[in-house]
Structure 1
Amino acid sequence: MNWDAFLAPYAQAVEELKVKLKGIRKQFGYEESHSPIEFVTGRVKPLASILEKASNKNIPSDQIESEIQDIAGLRVVCQFVDDIYKVVEMVRERNDLKIVMEKDYIKKNKDSGYRSYHLIIEYPVETIHGEKLILAEIQIRTLAMNFWAINEHSLNYKYEGRIPTDIKERLKGAAEAAFRLDEEMSKIKREVQEAQRIFHRK
């Protein structure tokens, strides 16, 4: 298989979606109102990771497109928990993509403590061979959730998915602390937003 050609539409999808999601943030800025989006990042899953996932899940190469849903990945980071649901609603209302699956790991977090909102979308990419529908994953989370998830990911990588029990327990405690921080910040959200508006006007 020509993997460069295979991955090219995914790279195109990531770049286009990043522009569109960052555009939402800019539009709020033009209207001088609080943007639910703090920042957006995106990546195409490295080929080695795709092949490893396919091998672990016994996915044949001709089914990778349909079975691995996060080859194209976007991350939307928000200030507040309720901003996450605003972003989800805005994505639901778009007509340039289709949501095929939603996973709310905020209301029901994973056993590890992981919290985030995942959307699996179908996105049309215009290629030289015509339109191609790409599956992409959008993860939407707060700054605190993102901080926790980045560190957990690093530890998973270090320990090859077998994090020692004592570290797992500390991670779980840290996840709860991060969520309590999100809840406390939500209680003073109005004051924070007003302070930010004053700062930006200056």
Structure 2
Amino acid sequence: MDWEAFLAPYAQAVEELKIKFRGVRKQFNHETSHSPIEFVTGRVKPLASILEKADEKHISYDRIEKDIQDIAGIRVVCQFVDDIYRVVDMVRERNDLQIIIEKDYIKKNKDSGYRSFHLIIEYPVQTIRGEKKVLAEIQIRTLAMNFWAINEHSLNYKYKGKIPTDVKERLKGAAEAAFRLDEEMSKIKKEVQEAQRIFHRK
């Protein structure tokens, strides 16, 4: 298989989606006092990781584009928990993509403590051979959730998915602390936003 050609539409989808979400952020900053989007990142899963996942899940190579849903990944990071649901609502209203699956790991977090809102979308990419629809994953989370998830990912990589029990427990405690931080910050959201408005005007 020509993997470079296979991955090209995913790379295009990531770049286009990053531009679109950053455009939304810019519009909010221009027209209102608060943007629900703090920043946006994106990546295409490395080929080695795709093939490793396919082998682990016994996915044949001709089924990869259907059965691996996070080859293209976008991360939208927000300041507050209710901003996440605002972004989700905005994505639901878009007509340039279709939501296939929604997973709310905030209301029901994973056993590890992981929290985030995941959307699996189908996104149309225009190629020289016509339109190609690719699957992409959008993760929407707060700054605190993002900080926790980045560290958990690093530990999973270090321990090859088998994090020692004591470290797991500390991670779980850290996840709860991060969520408590989000809850406390939500209580003073209006004050934070007013302070940001004053700073922005200056």
The match for 1:197 is 197
Equivalent residue letter for 1:129: R
Q: Distance in 2 between matches of 1:110 and 1:32?
A: 34
Alignment match, 2:117: 117
> Post-superposition shift, 1:32?
3.3
Please give the alpha-carbon distance, in whole angstroms, between the structure 1 residues aligned to 2:170 and 2:37: 29
Distance 1:38 1:142 in 2: 9
| Structure-2 residue corresponding to 1:174 | 174
Deviation at 1:64, TM superposition (A): 0.1
The answer on 1:183 being equivalent to 2:165 is no
The answer to whether structure 1 residue 79 and structure 2 residue 79 are counterparts is: yes
Give the corresponding residue for 1:23: 23
Q: SS state of the match for residue 75, structure 1?
A: strand
The 5 A counterparts of 1:16-165 are 16-165=16-165
Counterpart amino acid of residue 132 in structure 1: K
Residue identity matched to 1:162 = K
**C-alpha separation between the residues in 2 aligned to 1:4 and 1:67?**
19
Residue matched to 1:5: 5
**TM-score, normalised relative to structure 2:** 1.00
Following TM superposition, by how much is the alpha carbon of 1:193 offset from its aligned partner in structure 2, in angstroms? Answer: 0.2
Helix, strand or coil for the counterpart of 1:88?
A: helix
Structure 2 Cα separation of the partners of residues 32 and 98 of structure 1: 27
Counterpart secondary structure, 2:162: coil
Given that 1:92 and 1:99 are in contact with CA atoms closer than 8 Å, whether structure 2 keeps it comes out as: yes
Q: Distance in 2 between matches of 1:57 and 1:29?
A: 43
Which amino acid letter does the alignment assign opposite residue 170 of structure 2?
A: R
Deviations 1:93-112 (A, max 9, x none): 00000000000000000000
- Distance in 1 between the 2:192 and 2:31 partners? 18
**Which runs of structure 1 show a deviation greater than 6 angstroms over 4 or more consecutive aligned residues?**
none
Over the residues paired in the alignment, what is the CA RMSD in angstroms?
A: 0.4
The answer on whether the counterparts of 1:32 and 1:197 sit within 8 Å (CA) in structure 2 is no
CA distance in 2, matches of 1:146, 1:32: 25
Q: Which residue identity is paired with 1:118?
A: H
Give the C-alpha shift of residue 138 in structure 1: 0.1
TM-score, length-scaled by structure 1: 1.00
Distance 1:150 1:61 in 2: 29
Aligned residues: 202
Structure-2 separation of matches of 1:73 and 1:29 = 24
SS at 1:139's partner residue? strand
SS of aligned partner of 1:74? strand
